[in-house]
Structure 1
Amino acid sequence: MVIPQIVSRSFLSRQNDLLFIASILAVLGTSGVLVGGIWDSASHALKIPDSFWTIQHVTVYTGVSIVAFSAAFGTMLSLKNRKIIIGMILLLAGSAMQLGGGYVDYNFHTIYGIDGLVTSSHLTIESGLLLTSIGGFLTLAKFGYTKTRKLVPFAILNVIFSTTWIGFNLSLLVGATMLCIPVYDLFSSGCSVM
């Protein structure tokens, strides 16, 4: 056998395992984004000064980077695998939205220092979070419950928390003044809708 054939056959035989690892990384990366976001909210509650380069934001964007890497790698592997490609595309689109929203958030923090709770950059990041949580769940679901039973609760919680998060912020957008008044003290930057 020729060396390229050996490499090709061994790689193709492990393709399913590599896709499973990419799915695990996507789910854990999304969990990291949620933990960093909750940590950031807790920092606001404690009135810790806010800037873009806090450890909480680094945690969020480390999680996003893990999701983006696993999505790019998984998409390349799954181009011929119709069962998993939809979840990988959702992961790729969601992580792109989060990274784009993060860049806008960085610029906002650079110009204004702090930002409000409901901004276009935050809504973009949260929409991307929802897509990655759904994509992570869909990719993980393709491997069967016996293989993924320990990770399925994380994937389900990711979907529930990201849906709740964006739902809460959208409710603030609709009823900005009335709903922001009780939340104002929680966020040192206020509950402004920008």
Structure 2
Amino acid sequence: MKLTQRLSNSAIAKSGTLVSLVSIFSMVGPIIIVSAGFWDAISHILKEPEFFWSPSHIVVYSGVSMTACAAIMGSILIIRKSVHRSLKTGIKLVIVGSLLQIVSGFGDSLSHDLFGIDGLISWSHQPLEIGLLLASLGAVLILKNREHTKLKIFLPFSIVTFLFFTTWLIFNFVLIFGHTIQCIQIYEIFSSGCSIL
């Protein structure tokens, strides 16, 4: 009982600190995931062995962990009823985005075990990308709500990140419907996806 009381009274458990951490983690986590995802795609091109604990996957998992931490802290804020309106909406988006990333990550691992290396378009990649998009949109809403604080310096970066994820998701959906585009040489990095379609 005393430990719980100490934790709830600690500086890190204060609502303002939690909101700051949620906004930063939900913005940085998806960036780490996508950066490591590109690294993983390059590893596929180089025909490096694919396994669950590869270096690029570990970096992806660290980004997912950051987003999951943001979701957990956000859940604490919602349970305490410390947040309202757009701030609460932003945190809910981070939570849903985090859950999508975690489920898709396990799905992607299962897909690799069953089918080997996949392409950019796969049943596990698109939900992961939607999770990234939702988490980054959540970060934008949280930072917009906090633009009167020192967190405002992150808002432009967060908006650019959200726009990048939106563009990336649209690009992927275009590839689903534009099969031939996907197989053009300039898209060689994603060419293993041609066999899936």
What is the aligned partner in structure 1 of residue 184 from structure 2? 182
TM-score of the aligned structures, taking structure 1 as reference length: 0.84
Where 1:66 maps in the other structure, the secondary structure is helix
Larger RCO (alpha carbons 8 Å, 6+ apart): 1
From 138, 142, 154, the equivalent of 1:139 is: 142
Mapping 1:42-57, distance limit 5 Å: 42-57=42-57
C-alpha change, 1:148 and 1:158, in structure 2 (3 Å) is same
Q: Which position in structure 2 is the counterpart of 1:156?
A: 159
Contact 1:180 1:192 in 2 (8 A): no
Matched, 1:14 2:14: yes
- Report the CA distance shift for 1:9/1:58 in structure 2 as closer, same or farther (over 3 A): closer
| 1:38 maps to amino acid | F
Q: How far did 1:7 drift?
A: 7.9
Deviations 1:58-86 (CA, angstroms, capped at 9, x unpaired): 21221111111111112211442114111
**Residues 101-120 of structure 1, C-alpha deviation per residue, up to 9 Å, x if partnerless?**
11111011111221122111
Query: Offset of 1:191 from its aligned partner?
Result: 3.0
Change in Cα spacing, 1:17 to 1:188, as seen in structure 2 (3 Å) is same
Give runs of aligned pairs for residues 80-95 of structure 1, distance below 5 A. 80=81, 81-83=83-85, 84-95=87-98
Q: How far apart in 2 are the matches of 1:12 and 1:180?
A: 47
Unaligned runs of 5+ in 1: none
Greater Cα shift, 120-129 or 70-79: 70-79
Q: CA-atom RMSD, angstroms?
A: 2.8
Distance 1:131 1:139 in 2: 12
Shift of residue 165 of structure 1?
A: 1.4
Larger deviation, residues 42-51 vs 105-114: 42-51
Distance of aligned partners of 1:108 and 1:20 in 2 relative to their CA distance in 1, 3 Å threshold: same
5+ residue gaps, structure 2: none
Instruction: State the shift of 1:188 in Å.
Output: 6.1
- Matches of 2:10 and 2:106 in 1, distance apart? 39
Deviation, structure 1 residue 12: 10
SS at structure 2 position matched to 1:150: helix
Match of 1:73, SS? Answer: helix
Q: Does the CA-based 8 Å contact 1:94-1:129 persist in structure 2?
A: yes
Matches for 1:29-68 after TM superposition, within 5 Å: 29-68=29-68
Partners of 1:61 and 1:191 lie apart in 2 by 26
Match of 1:116 among 109, 116, 119: 119
Task: Say if 2:123 is the partner of 1:104.
Answer: no
Count residues in correspondence.
Answer: 191
Partner of 2:130: 127
Which letter maps to 1:161? Answer: F
Give distance in 2, aligned partners of 1:115 and 1:182. 17
8 Å CA contact 1:117, 1:193 repeated in 2: no
Q: Which piece of structure 1 moves more, 75-84 or 88-97? A: 75-84
